[in-house]
Amino acid sequence: MASTTPAPYVVEDCGPNLQLFSDGTVIRFEDYNILPPPVLPPALSTVQWKDVVYDAGRGLKLRVYRPPAATVAGEKLPVLVYFHGGGYVIGSFEMDNFHACCLRLAHELPAVVLSADYRLAPEHRLPAAHDDAATAMSWVRDQAVASGDAADPWLEESADFGRVFVSGDSAGAGIVHHVALRLGSGQIAVDPARVAGCALLFPYFGGEERTRSEAEYPPGPFLTLPFSDQGWRLALPRGATRDHPLANPFGPESPAMDAVALPPLLVVVAQLDLLRDRDVDYAARLRAMGKQVEMVEFEGQHHGFFAVEPLGDAGSELVRVVRRFVYGNGGDAAAAAAAASK
């Protein structure tokens, strides 16, 4: 007798990226880099980089970037832990554009940059990515006290673990928010390393109620409202809405942050981003709680502009904004935003 079980069918089609079938099977397409690869200037070829395993059990790696020897001679540099974007569904530190972003940050801040991969949805739904970020931060803590064969020689020579910053773009910035929450609530311990600040670049947040920018802004070149909604359907626990605390920092079930000791935050916002109003509201609410938050808005820019054009003028200004935040020289956020719009 022939089986009456229907053949698996596609329930989520992410175009050139992946397909989710009704039986839970996921097919990923190997080449889903839809961004034009940047042409790197010769100066960035002086940055050394290598891949290191930070979670052997899951086979997760991070890419270590170290500026030229002349830059690090005689002094140790801040450490910037970076999480890439991709809606929690796609992306890797290996993608050309994320690689270029980290080369620039390492060379121009300067800093030792640690660009970490994490598990992707829908095979690994949230909070898997946040848990992996916590593991990466624990690896940083371990390196701060490591010696002998256990110590990475580049970090031992060049990294100032008293000045660790955590950054990321889009979904990576969402990861940074949850890292900050876990740090502030004592769920992650990094002592004797010290997280001196967190930089969230156009963070990917969600919510059931549409904001004005979601309802009125035209779709950006690399983020549309349907794609954003689809990303949350694939990333959140099954059955969860976009008001889940993993998506909406201020949803009805999200934990209060008033008493959480967050590190200083830099929030970078893109004016033409569908998520612009969520990001502005995030910064404003935290400021109202007394948190130390600097917000810089880039006029005329869309979501993810740094990864889309790592070597563009707006990307150059973003690197300068992050450099002021990391080195704490009191740069004027308003002037930076004005310069970014030119």
Annotated catalytic residues are 170
Q: Distance between CA atoms of 88 and 131, rounded to whole angstroms?
A: 13
DSSP state at residue 46: G
Q: Do 63 and 99 form a contact (C-beta atoms < 8 A)? A: yes
Provide the edge-to-edge strand list for the sheet that holds 293-298. 48-55, 60-66, 112-116, 77-83, 159-169, 195-201, 265-270, 293-298
Distances (CA, A) of 79 to 143, 160, 337, 341: 12, 6, 25, 29
Cβ neighbours for 82, distance < 8 A, ≥ 6 positions apart = 101, 102, 105, 113, 114, 115, 116, 167, 168, 172
Q: Distance between CA atoms of 47 and 152, rounded to whole angstroms?
A: 17
